[in-house]
Amino acid sequence: MPIDLYCVMGNPVTHSRSPWIHARFAELTGQTLRYEKRLIALDAFAVSARAFAAEGGRGCNITVPFKFDAAKLADRISARAALAGAANVLSFGDGAILGDNTDGAGLVSDLQRNAGFDLCGRHLLLIGAGGAAAGVLGPLLRERPASITVANRTLARASDLVARHASLALQHEVDLLASSLAELSGQFELVINATSSSLSDSGVPVAGSTLKSGALAYDMMYGAPAQGFLTWAAEHGASARDGLGMLVGQAAETFLIWRGVRPPELQVLVELRSVMQER
């Protein structure tokens, strides 16, 4: 029998940790599979995904910049991916392409299980309204925080994202608000950076006064790009956490979809951190 084949598709994709994570999940759960990296030309996502399925691929993870294309390519899509408008997982079976989004579940799992931060009844600030923020807003709302403020440089994008999630917020009794960065006020128990501002070296886009005493500041990035935000958080007396646990968390949710087994997420996160520190 041929070995089950999976991959991560992106551009760039060289530094992706997903092959390492999935190989370790497979080892620890006694599964046999192969997981590769595929660099995809910017105009070739759909054709490459279909070719991978035709070649016998069972599924793929999707990273920057193809998550929106992946949602459009899928024949069927989960409710959470539809709400996000983006997919980070495709599964190929019975001739159909199924799309899902496990980013939000990965974040929630890292916050609640690994960091011990209970979201219920808390006041949250989500900075950014692009693809990264869209992927996590629905799953955050489902945890019933008291409020979520979505603050973005471009107010219209925050307002759109909030409008799309208004009925889910109502259903879960969450006060969901949109703000521009310039007019942002208030203090929050959890501040999540979902912007790409660190990639342009433009600093943290909100003031330290947004952090309530004892707050947790979370950057969805990890490694060097998260460093500025983590330092800023520490300078303002907040606890700081990078997005490595979210990465492992979304991979664990993906593995569960593909293989029907939940891998030991925390163990793999601890191992990955130590592998990264050795380098």
* Residues at the site binding ligand ATR, with contacts judged by CB under 6 A: 128-132, 152-154, 157, 195-197, 200, 202, 205
Q: Which residues of 83-115 are buried (b: 16+ CB within 10 A; e: fewer)?
A: bbbbbbbbbbeeeebbbbbbbbbbbbbbbeebe
Contact 273, 250 (CB under 8 A): no
DSSP category for residue 110: I
**CB of 126 or CB of 268, closer to ligand ATR:** 126
The minimum distance between CB 11 and ligand ATR, in angstroms, equals: 13
The minimum distance between CB 130 and ligand ATR, in angstroms, equals: 2
Which tokens go with 129? 């309204």
**CB of 185 or CB of 267, closer to ligand ATR:** 185
**CB of 96 or CB of 207, closer to ligand ATR:** 207
Could you tell me which of 225, 39, 25, 59 has the C-alpha nearest to residue 132? 225
The one-letter code for the residue type at 173 is E
The minimum distance between CB 129 and ligand ATR, in angstroms, equals: 5
Which tokens go with 228? 């500025």
**CB of 71 or CB of 268, closer to ligand ATR:** 71
Phi, psi of 74 (to 5 degrees): -65, 140
Distance of alpha carbon 44 from its chain centroid, rounded? 23
The minimum distance between CB 64 and ligand ATR, in angstroms, equals: 6
Distance between CA atoms of residues 13 and 166, nearest Å: 34
Residue 72 bears catalytic tag: no
Q: Which positions are annotated as active-site residues?
A: 67
